[in-house]
Structures are given as structure tokens and as C-alpha cells.
Amino acid sequence: MNKVRKSLAEWQAQLSPEAFYVTRQQGTERPFTGEYNQHTESGIYRCVCCSTPLFASDTKFDAGCGWPSYFSALNPDHVREEVDESHGMIRTEIICNVCDAHLGHVFPDGPPPTGLRYCINSVALQFEPA
């Protein structure tokens, strides 16, 4: 897998201010405001930074948490997990393994078959219809 590496200035020029804040500065969009929170169209959700396919619409579910949620990644090699100890909590951060973009977090309270809830910021994604 070829890594995508750019300077912060290059990312800032490529991304919207909110997408830059979330993906390059580990920010979070406000709940229930993201474009894909209630999105139900069939297709693939890609990384907004490098277009790597991350999640499929058939793994998306309404977790009621205010962010798009998926029970599995499209390809486990495309995402990686890191411990996030920010905000006085211990969480598992999800990062694009190709460009190191912060995507969101994963929690162990999702539906079968995985029991996982990948809670992802809409601005970290771009949608490709089926």
C-alpha cells in the first residue's frame, strides 16, 4: 500500500476548513450536523483526503449517536486503530491507513455480526454512489 504524504499546508489547500480540522487536527464535527448522518443511498464511503475506500453502505446503521456509524470497515487494511486518551477518556481512534487522516472512533457497542460501531465524522468521508 502506497502511503499518501503531504505537508499541512498542502492538506489545508486541498480540504475544507472543517475537513482539515477533523482529519488533520483530530477534531470532531458537531453531532447530528454531518452530511452522511442520515444518508441511506447505496455506495462506498471514501476518505476525503486520499479517496481510499473505507466503508460500504450495507454496513451503515443508525446508532442514534449523531454521526454516521458502520459495523465494519470495507477493508481492515485501510484503517488502523490507535489509543486516544484525549478529553479525559480512553477511546480507540480510527485512522486512514493510507494518509493518516483522523476519521473518528470505534466502540464495542455495535450490532451483529461484529458488535462494533465505527463512529465516523461525515467531513472525513466522500460518498461514491453504487
Q: Please give the angle made by the CA atoms of 77, 99 and 50, to the nearest 5 degrees.
A: 95
Active site residue 49: no
CA distance 83 to 107: 12
Catalytic residue, chosen from 47, 96, 99, 119, is 119
Give the side-chain half-sphere CA count within 13 A for 106.
22
Closest CA to 15 of 46, 44, 48: 48
CA distance 5 to 2: 9
Contact 43, 57 (CB under 8 A): yes
- Cross-strand pairs, 120: 104
Instruction: Map residue 3 onto helix, strand or coil.
Output: coil
Would you please indicate which residues are annotated as catalytic (active-site) residues? 119
